[in-house]
Amino acid sequence: MNIHLPDSIRDGEHLYAVRVYYEDTDAGGVVYHANYLRFAERARTEALRDLGVAHAEMAVQHGLMFMVRRIKVDYLGPARLDESLVVATRVAAIRGAVVELRQDVRNETRLLVGLDIQLACVRVTDQRPARVPVRWTEALMALSCREMAPSGAQ
Amino acid sequence: MNIHLPDSIRDGEHLYAVRVYYEDTDAGGVVYHANYLRFAERARTEALRDLGVAHAEMAVQHGLMFMVRRIKVDYLGPARLDESLVVATRVAAIRGAVVELRQDVRNETRLLVGLDIQLACVRVTDQRPARVPVRWTEALMALSCREMAPSGAQ
Amino acid sequence: MNIHLPDSIRDGEHLYAVRVYYEDTDAGGVVYHANYLRFAERARTEALRDLGVAHAEMAVQHGLMFMVRRIKVDYLGPARLDESLVVATRVAAIRGAVVELRQDVRNETRLLVGLDIQLACVRVTDQRPARVPVRWTEALMALSCREMAPSGAQ
Amino acid sequence: MNIHLPDSIRDGEHLYAVRVYYEDTDAGGVVYHANYLRFAERARTEALRDLGVAHAEMAVQHGLMFMVRRIKVDYLGPARLDESLVVATRVAAIRGAVVELRQDVRNETRLLVGLDIQLACVRVTDQRPARVPVRWTEALMALSCREMAPSGAQ
């Protein structure tokens, strides 16, 4: 089923490259803490696109969209100007209208920032929760991390 | 006619205070150059609100909005973290569907950034140019700089 | 001891007003989720300033700074263009080198976003943790929420 | 001399791809006007890197950096969420401490935003103007637009 996975997906992770520019940094000389949320959202968007289930399509075909409902961010180390980062995205759980992702921002040597993201699938018209369409659930399974395996996707 | 001008307007200038936070700076230790455009837009929004002609009202009453059509920015000196800046906004010209503004960003001692802004008044529905409503033109006159006076609104 | 508290502090909360501008919104018509972290950081900066213990001073006098170590954000409702928001900041706990804050972003009718912020006090030179200076701890106590009182600083 | 030009350079233009994400848009449904300056700066950074004369290296080897001194931006059409844009960068002139660039932001069908950028080469220590190093001038020549050729835009 996962035969045609794109190059950006390896070992159940979607990998997205980010370069740090001046716009991302602050006077502390490092990436401004809120900007990791921008990096993470770019990575989520590209992950969906690479999986063949782009968010624009979900809106058009189903009248649905993902909204960020909860974010937990752990800052473990700073990133600096010109650094090459990678955002690794995995699915932690899918249940009903909720998708939980784990996103790790790494430089070449270590984990810098870890994000736990809870997305709600909602109707575009009134923002009410709606079950994630089957095609999206199936596609997202390609990013299921190992820990999900035993007990199923909850 | 200018009897009830708010405190934020003095000598034909609208004054808007901006504090520099980490989010505004970059790894060079100064305000990131694109962020002065954000400061300037906040100031324009508050200038219209203080003049009693808020942009939201223009949309609701006339189906019109201002779009930025051209910007020229001169960077004369840097602003740093925690600095208190002022954005001074004046009207340079109003003709037909076009409003030209001059915005100066100053700290306590000098001019840091000068912006010449050309706004187009357009219809919300199709972005086609439309004459600036009389009430807006009249209100904006409170910010007319001296140079406008003799030769008319150009 | 809290005799000279500034107007921005009421009932153990520091209140900071934020207006929503175009720069803060996204194509969904609401405030972009990462931008609440910017609002929250502005509010923290002003809270320290209003308490008489500005972060710039901490750097100069003690060679110390606060770094964001962990953030948890709950998105409960959207904020829209032109809305007036308030960021309410309280101290949840202070222990050793760690300060935990609770920040609520509200509009006129409800709570929109809740943030739990964990700050680490670190040395500017090498980012190693360092005890929060007594003067800062004492000042921050003005923002101590009721729950802290009985058991002390947890 | 231009034998080993990278793929990103064609016909004297450096081409840099930008995807529009939610972070780039505003409540008007289009890219927020200030964000084109961020796109343009990313493109300039990559242009220098692709030419083998990265800005970090200029700082380390020569103690010099480029500062934005003047920007003129013409907004001709809007870009929307998910659009693929290209920033084309050319050198318009190099003289003494000043480099003038022309940057065009295009989507698949048309020119959306044109930027004329004036950079000053300055010393990192005191921001005083300094001649652009020969190696940088020579490398930048690969981006010289045709119009420069006849009269020598210097």
Model pLDDT for residues C72-102, shown as the tens digit of each residue: 999 999 999 999 999 999 999 999 999 999 9
pLDDT, tens digit, 9 for 90 and up, residues B6-48: 889 998 999 999 999 999 999 999 999 999 999 999 999 999 9
In D36-83 the beta strands, taken as DSSP E runs, fall at 64-75
Classify residue A28 by its DSSP letter. T
What are the percentages of helix, strand and coil residues in chain C, rounded to 5?
A: 25, 40, 35
Model's pTM, two decimal places? 0.93
- With CA atoms as reference, the chain D residue closest to C34 would be D23
β-strand partners of B59: none
Q: Are B116 and B92 in contact (CB under 8 A)?
A: yes
- What subunits touch chain A, counting only 3 or more CB pairs under 8 A? B, C, D
In percent, the amount of chain A with pLDDT more than 70 equals: 91
Of B21, B38, B42, the CB nearest to C45: B21
Give the number of other CB atoms < 10 A from CB of residue D113. 23
Examine the pLDDT at A103 and tell me if it is beyond 80: yes
pLDDT tens across the length of chain C (154 residues): 445 678 899 999 999 999 999 999 999 999 999 999 999 999 999 999 999 999 999 999 999 999 999 999 999 999 999 999 999 999 999 999 999 999 999 999 999 999 999 999 999 999 999 999 999 999 999 998 654 444 434 3
How many cross-chain Cβ pairs, B to C, lie less than 8 Å apart? 30
Classify residue C95 by its DSSP letter. E
User: CB of D19 within 8 Å of any CB in chain A?
Assistant: yes
- What subunits touch chain B, counting only 3 or more CB pairs under 8 A? A, C, D
Please list every residue in chain C whose beta carbon sits closer than 8 Å to the beta carbon of residue D75.
none
Best of C19, C20, C21, C36 to mutate (most B CBs within 10 Å, chain B): C21
Tokens of B106: 């100053």
Tokens of B50: 């203080």
- With CA atoms as reference, the chain C residue closest to A75 would be C69
Q: State the pairing for strand pair A84-95/A98-106.
A: antiparallel
Q: Are B20 and B81 in contact (CB under 8 A)?
A: yes
What are the residue ranges in chain B where pLDDT is below 50? Answer: 1-2, 147-154
Of C34, C70, C127, the CB nearest to A34: C34
D26 is catalytic: yes
Tokens of A82: 């010109």
User: CB of D34 within 8 Å of any CB in chain C?
Assistant: yes
Residue holding tokens 């998910």? D82
Of A19, A41, A54, the CB nearest to D21: A41
Q: Are A118 and A40 in contact (CB under 8 A)?
A: no
CA A16 to chain centre: 10
User: CB of A26 within 8 Å of any CB in chain B?
Assistant: yes
User: CB of B25 within 8 Å of any CB in chain A?
Assistant: yes
Instruction: With CA atoms as reference, report the closest residue to C116 among C96, C98, C97.
Output: C98
pLDDT level of residue D146 (50, 70, 90 thresholds): low
- What subunits touch chain C, counting only 3 or more CB pairs under 8 A? A, B, D
Contact D30 C27 (CB under 8 A): yes
Q: Which residues contact B53 (CB under 8 A, 6 or more apart)?
A: B135, B136, B139, B140
Specify the 3-state DSSP secondary structure of B88.
strand
Tokens of C23: 């720069």
Contact B82 C56 (CB under 8 A): yes
Distance CA D108, CA A93 (A): 38
Instruction: With CA atoms as reference, report the closest residue to A88 among A18, A37, A11, A14.
Output: A14
The pLDDT assigned to B141 comes to 93
Classify residue B63 by its DSSP letter. S
The pLDDT assigned to D1 comes to 45
Of C67, C69, C75, the CB nearest to A68: C75
Catalytic residue among A7, A11, A26, A50: A26
Distance CA D29, CA B51 (A): 27
H helix or E strand, kind and range, residue A78: none
Of B68, B75, B78, the CB nearest to D75: B68
Tokens of A41: 């959202």
- With CA atoms as reference, the chain A residue closest to B32 would be A23
User: CB of C81 within 8 Å of any CB in chain D?
Assistant: yes
Instruction: With CA atoms as reference, report the closest residue to D80 among B38, C27, B127, B123.
Output: C27
User: CB of B81 within 8 Å of any CB in chain C?
Assistant: yes
Amino acid at D45: T
Distance CA B105, CA A44 (A): 37
The pLDDT assigned to A5 comes to 75
Contact A27 B32 (CB under 8 A): no
Tokens of B58: 């223009």
Distance CA A102, CA A119 (A): 11
